[in-house]
Amino acid sequence: MSSHNYKKAILYSQRIMEENCNVAEIENDIIKHLHENNFEVVKKFSDLGYHNRMRTGLNELIKYLMNTGQTIDLVAFYSFDYLGRDKARLNYVVPRIKKYVTRVMLIENQPSLYRNSKLKLQFNQDIWKKII
């Protein structure tokens, strides 16, 4: 059995409470995708709902990055927001996060890709080129 060295990742998601949205399944799909691309999720943070402006989970993520002794290679953000408001909010924190990690990835819902009410994900690493 060979040993595999995965890069370390953190997953942040903004959770919503909808019957058609199985957050655990979506997060498992994201973790599986990251694992297939040589990343191990070592920590997860989340916030509940669209209207939580305090974003305690996001603040905890930043504190963790500032204080961890580990090297974190990637922070992956999962957005439930179909209108792009989360992208605008994240513009503010991404420069702070980039001080501590090599890559930031935004994973978005793609409503036009829904099939049988299952959410489809788009893994977008290029979106941050405009920000960084």
Q: How confident is the model over 74-114, as pLDDT tens digits? A: 999 887 655 556 666 777 788 889 999 989 888 776 554 33
Query: Does residue 3 carry a pLDDT above 60?
Result: no
Q: What pTM was computed for the model?
A: 0.75
Query: Does residue 9 carry a pLDDT above 90?
Result: yes
Q: For the beta carbon of residue 1, count every other beta carbon within 10 angstroms.
A: 3
**3.30.70.1380, 3.40.50.2300, 3.30.70.100, 3.40.50.1390: CATH of 7-130:** 3.40.50.1390
pLDDT of residue 128: 39
pLDDT of residue 42: 95
- Give kind and range of the element (H or E) at residue 12: strand 7-15
Q: Summarize pLDDT for 27-71 with one digit per residue, the tens.
A: 888 898 899 889 999 999 988 765 556 678 888 999 999 999 889
- The ranges assigned to domains in the chain are 7-130
DSSP per-residue string spanning 63-83: HHHHH-SS-EEEEEEEE--TT
Cα–Cα separations (whole angstroms), residue 9 to 17, 43, 70, 117:
25, 7, 11, 28
Q: What is the mean pLDDT of residues 4-30?
A: 79
Residue type for position 52: N
pLDDT of residue 101: 93
Higher pLDDT, 45 or 21: 45
pLDDT of residue 14: 80
Going by C-alpha positions, the residue among 25, 21, 7, 18 that lies closest to residue 105 is 7
CA angle 61, 82, 56 (to 5 degrees): 20
